[in-house]
């Protein structure tokens, strides 16, 4: 067995189809167009799967009680598998044909707020407990399925607006007013608003949660440059010992595996009593009851129904997700050493996201789709922004959505471990949102005023609205629920407030950060590829945002230059 010298991820021998070095990838292991070896892709894809599974699973556990479903109902596992299946399907479509950034599209907490508001309407409230107990299994199933059909129709119809915004190019026009002082509160408030969920999950066993956070910090930051030996097979040379940055590539995966094992040992030795949330067998029944094989399909709980109140309520979730995704795109591009996302990629990304939300509604997941902030944080921690890795992750999700036992096994990850991961990931999301402040003049009293108000006021108003449901009384139930949802969403209130103040209060373009931001967002479109960095620098790869197939033919047709979601789009904003 031969021994190879220490090879970094940037060395040619460790790459397959390695693209030229990216100008924006100063600290990146694998950039957007890099294709790591298949075995590394699978391991890093599994890491992304484990990052998103906790958030995906938490949504049905909040949703199903509001649907009047029993805790022991096996349909809960069906909803979980359906959501993960649709997540994989839309993620693959988004990464391959949509915006082509390495992001995960999945269920979002933004849709839970309007969902709970809809299910809190008098006609959808659950009957008293004694009535529920007296129902037969058939009647109980119809009870929650009729509510799921109402949610499915509302989500699918509301998502049409997002499809139109994206594919018509209208969302690209919004970039004139979506400035850094809009991005900062929108993205940062995602992490800030999620802190109660991280706190609740971590508080189930603070020792395990803090240990998880500490171990992830150790692997991702302290030991990231320490190489580890590994055995690889080289054609013509056989097995070889090579050195690679294990801790830098797989900090999340290693942390979950180690802390899961620790919880298993403490469970087996009886340190954690029966029923303790840190035990590895606390969700064993989910694994036992899960089916081995089941393919989710549209209308599996009955064909969706549509009501005006439901659609208007879900529009709040669609608006919040659209603003949030627009905020994430340039951040993800910078993190994975990609060029600034051109207009056609942004338009296409929002359109595909809306299409994914439609499918999620029709499939009966009870939720929509949005860019997963947790996986944005994972890219920041691991410095792995390869598109190929996310495509593998999407395939794993699709497979898990069919093989329910496989997914049920990962659902058994103890809550405190997930809480510890969230403490890092949500913090990273907040930090990435604040990073947009680099474009604005922080010495300006104008900018500081806008920043302070757009951060503080949404927390005051939205959290109060959430804590006092039913406060808004206009005499119209549909309007009441819609206003409650809109004003109770911090990222929506913060983004709209920051956008309005920044565009209404006088300020110079340099002061507002518009000059630097226009370069970051690639507002002057010319296909968005191969132009290099403004002011010099290395050229980007010429196919970063191109479709994987058909580009030669598309460039021959002049009419494609006027279609706002095609890679040949050359119209200016």
456 lies in some domain? no
State the sign of the Cα–Cα–Cα–Cα dihedral 519, 356, 153, 397: negative
Residue 276 pLDDT exceeds 90: no
Strands laid side by side in the 238-244 sheet: 2-6, 238-244, 228-234
Residues 6+ apart with CB under 8 A from 441: 447, 510, 511, 512, 513
Examine residue 189 and state whether it is found in any structural domain, yes or no.
yes
Q: Cα 62 to the chain's mean position, in Å? A: 18
Q: Within 13 Å and on the Cβ side, how many CA atoms surround 440? A: 23
Query: Considering its fold, how many domains does the chain have in total?
Result: 1
Q: Given pLDDT bands bounded at 50, 70 and 90, which one contains residue 89? A: very high
**pTM, full prediction:** 0.73
**Which of 84, 110, 113, 103 is closest to 190 using CA atoms?**
110
What's the angle, vertex CA 444, arms to CA 439 and CA 449, rounded to 5?
A: 100
- CA dihedral sign of residues 358, 360, 363, 365: negative
Residue 23 lies in a domain: no
Residue 234 lies in a domain: no
Domain annotation covers residue 342: yes
Task: Give the confidence band of 536 by pLDDT, cuts at 50, 70, 90.
Answer: very low
Predicted confidence (pLDDT) per residue in 467-506, tens digit? 776 778 887 777 777 777 677 777 778 888 998 999 999 9
- DSSP letter for 14, please: G
Smallest Cα–Cα separation from 415: which of 266, 275, 209, 107?
Answer: 209
Residue 279 counted as domain residue = yes
Token reading at 26: 């100063």
- pLDDT band at residue 531 using 50, 70 and 90 as cut-offs: very low
Cβ-in-10-Å burial (0-12, 13-18, 19+) of 13 comes to exposed
pLDDT in tens, 104-162: 888 876 777 677 777 776 677 788 777 777 777 788 888 888 888 989 999 999 999 99
Alpha helices in 370-505 (DSSP H): 373-382, 387-402, 404-411, 415-434, 445-467, 477-487, 490-504
Three-class secondary structure assignment of 555-568: HHCHHHHHCCCCCC
363 lies in some domain: yes
Task: Kindly state whether residue 13 falls inside one of the protein's structural domains.
Answer: no
Going by their DSSP bridges, the two strands 2-6 and 238-244 should be labelled as parallel
Q: What range does the domain containing 58 cover?
A: 38-125+136-218+267-432
- Neighbouring residues of 271: CB distance < 8 A, sequence distance ≥ 6: none
Q: Among the listed ranges 161-165, 228-232, 235-239, 398-402, which one has the minimum average pLDDT value?
A: 235-239
């Amino acid at each position: 067995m031969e021994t190879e010298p220490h090879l970094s991820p940037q060395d040619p021998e460790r790459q397959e189809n390695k693209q030229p070095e990216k100008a924006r990838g100063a600290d990146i292991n694998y950039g957007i167009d890099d294709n790591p070896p298949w075995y590394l892709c699978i391991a890093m894809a599994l890491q992304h799967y484990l990052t998103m599974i906790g958030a995906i699973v938490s949504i049905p556990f909040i949703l199903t009680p509001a649907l009047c479903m029993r805790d022991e109902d096996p349909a809960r596992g069906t909803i979980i598998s359906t959501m993960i299946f649709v997540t994989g399907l839309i993620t693959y479509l988004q990464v391959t044909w949509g915006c082509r950034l390495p992001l995960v599209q999945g269920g979002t907490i933004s849709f839970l707020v309007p969902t709970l508001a809809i299910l809190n309407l008098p006609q959808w409230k659950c009957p008293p407990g004694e009535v529920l107990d007296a129902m037969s299994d058939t009647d109980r199933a119809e009870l929650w399925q009729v509510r799921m059909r109402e949610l499915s129709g509302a989500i699918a119809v509301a998502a049409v607006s997002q499809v139109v915004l994206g594919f018509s190019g209208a969302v690209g026009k919004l970039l004139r007013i979506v400035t850094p002082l809009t991005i900062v509160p929108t993205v940062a408030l995602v992490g800030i608003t999620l802190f109660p969920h991280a706190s609740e999950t971590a508080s189930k066993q603070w020792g395990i949660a803090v240990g998880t956070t500490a171990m992830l910090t150790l692997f991702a930051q302290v030991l990231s440059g320490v190489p580890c030996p590994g055995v690889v097979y080289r054609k013509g040379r056989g097995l070889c010992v090579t050195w690679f940055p294990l801790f830098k590539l797989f900090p999340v995966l290693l942390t979950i595996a180690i802390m899961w094992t620790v919880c298993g040992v403490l469970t087996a030795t009886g340190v954690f009593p029966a029923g303790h949330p840190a035990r590895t067998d606390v969700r064993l029944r989910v694994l036992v009851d899960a089916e081995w094989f089941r393919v989710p399909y549209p209308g599996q709980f009955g064909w969706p129904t549509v009501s005006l109140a439901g659609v208007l309520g879900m529009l709040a979730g669609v608006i919040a997700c659209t603003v949030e995704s627009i905020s994430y795109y340039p951040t993800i591009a910078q993190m994975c050493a990609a060029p600034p996302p051109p207009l056609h990629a942004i338009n296409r990304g929002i359109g595909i996201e809306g299409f994914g939300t439609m499918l999620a509604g029709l499939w009966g997941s009870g939720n929509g789709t949005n860019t997963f902030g947790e996986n944005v944080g994972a890219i920041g921690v691991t410095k792995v922004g390869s598109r190929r890795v996310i495509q593998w992750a999407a395939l794993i999700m699709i497979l898990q959505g069919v093989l329910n036992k496989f997914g049920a096994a990962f659902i058994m990850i103890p809550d405190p471990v997930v809480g510890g991961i969230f403490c890092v990931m949500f913090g990273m999301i907040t930090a990435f949102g604040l990073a947009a402040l680099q474009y604005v003049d922080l010495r300006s009293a104008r900018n500081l005023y806008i920043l302070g108000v757009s951060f503080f006021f949404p927390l005051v108003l939205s959290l109060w609205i959430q804590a006092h449901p039913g406060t808004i009384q206009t005499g119209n139930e549909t309007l009441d629920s819609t206003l409650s949802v809109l004003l109770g969403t911090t990222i929506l209130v913060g983004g709209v407030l920051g956008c309005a103040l920044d565009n209404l209060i006088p300020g110079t373009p340099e002061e507002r950060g518009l000059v630097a931001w226009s370069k970051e967002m690639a507002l002057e479109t010319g296909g968005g590829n191969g132009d290099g960095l403004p002011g010099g620098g290395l050229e980007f790869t010429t196919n970063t945002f191109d479709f994987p197939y058909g580009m030669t033919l598309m460039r021959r047709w002049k009419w494609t230059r006027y279609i706002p979601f095609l890679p040949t789009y050359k119209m200016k904003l």
